[in-house]
Structure 1
């Protein structure tokens, strides 16, 4: 019991909590400066998230893709790479799932749905592996290639939907087959038709897989070694180039799954989009919030997704404009990211604790 208490009272646990509180307080000051009532705004935010079973289900639905894109960015970062291309990998995952969900017919659910998941995930992984290959073989900075691949993915997916999957007189694909759906109908009915799906469970399992792959396997050790020191990894006989490609491939799989579940579990079709959905970019913030740790990423996604979904309540319930809502969310991320400021604020508290221990 004492060990559990020490974990939750340790600096590593206290700092993020204080950072979140500081972010919310700063957001409250911004709302006061703009002439809005922060108490009413935050009350509306929590009412939006927890006000009904439908809102709870939809909040969980909003959190799910952020877990996966956060894992995607974090996995690459832990292996020494910066994956800004999770957005494009999400789009390719959506496209792969849509192709299988629309074009493949006559299969039972137990085969069709997993097939769509696997194809979408692999397509996202291969899209990430392109950047890994260019980094490994040509020395091209992965930040540049992943950003460019985001746009290529968007326009390529639009071309595929327009050419092969478009429903007549619509700006979207045909609906996927029922046998490819990952919606949980009985739970959706319990939650007043919230769009819950099996992807949430798989996202949590992906966080476990993240930890096992990276921390408990020989391959994970090699990936971390390459990320920590390329020269030392080469000296130890590791294939650095191959590990770079593998890291980006696995990172892309996580992001591709986020796109897969948006198609198979939420919308059941893919639109011809003018812009990408934004989950990949939000995943960078989630990874930062979670300190690239799988447990932290799940919690960071819950915070980020909850604030994003609840922001509609702040807008309608307290008339707070979207711009100020984004400032509130950004201020939370800022204080979490700048742990030095938080530690400086907590110096008197730490000093008091040390004196108490000494006595």
Structure 2
């Protein structure tokens, strides 16, 4: 048996404030589950930053260890489908929300949450992707079912974020012409390196537009922010175009008529990576390991240690994190 004690980044509520600290825990403190997994890498997501700041819509009870992503090796298994030393990915479901997550060196989870690490994918690459990459992959998968590269330009909102960066890189790899929406003028070179051929200022498309439908500009879109930007993207999507929606940091509300859907046949597809069916997860992870893997995947990520988490969490809450943040958990 591996060591009984391990390090974890634990959030505690003290006098109305939420404080994060690296603590030593025991395996017995982990929840029940089929698989005990030694975590080699995790990653930082916006939902982790919310959990770390005491957002009760994400995490109800504290003390708590965030981390909605984890990759590592099975140490103990009570399920016939997995054996010790199997390399597995665990993302979403309840991991890091109300179940202690990947910011601990060990996790214990149901076997139904685990995906085998695909061939041709390292553990670090799995966490460069993480939930953000999986969400981007799901969005690209659904969009490419109905829109082909020759159909026209695809626009990606929130393009410097994790999901946005991955989406730009994947779409470019697949031969699509990509326009990236951002409000960060310093990141234009980064987005062009990922494959964007056009940069759209967020202010140009983020203002409320009274017209129920506007000039067709995009064959499709991957929206990560919601609100007015999603409204305007839908209004300016070409006939038979497809828009996927996976975020609401701008707003969870949209004000629309039915005209884009009836007059242009626009399709709006919601992406829920948290509870996405397992057969789709396996399909998308396989594509991410193979033909969809960007050549510059490593450039999308920054690697940090557990000790550096607090600073990165603060930056993420301020909207100052570019791409992906990978957390190295074990040697």
Q: TM-score, normalised by structure 2?
A: 0.26
Which protein shows a greater Rg?
1
Q: Which has the higher contact order (CA 8 A, sep 6+)?
A: 1
Q: TM-score, normalised by structure 1?
A: 0.25
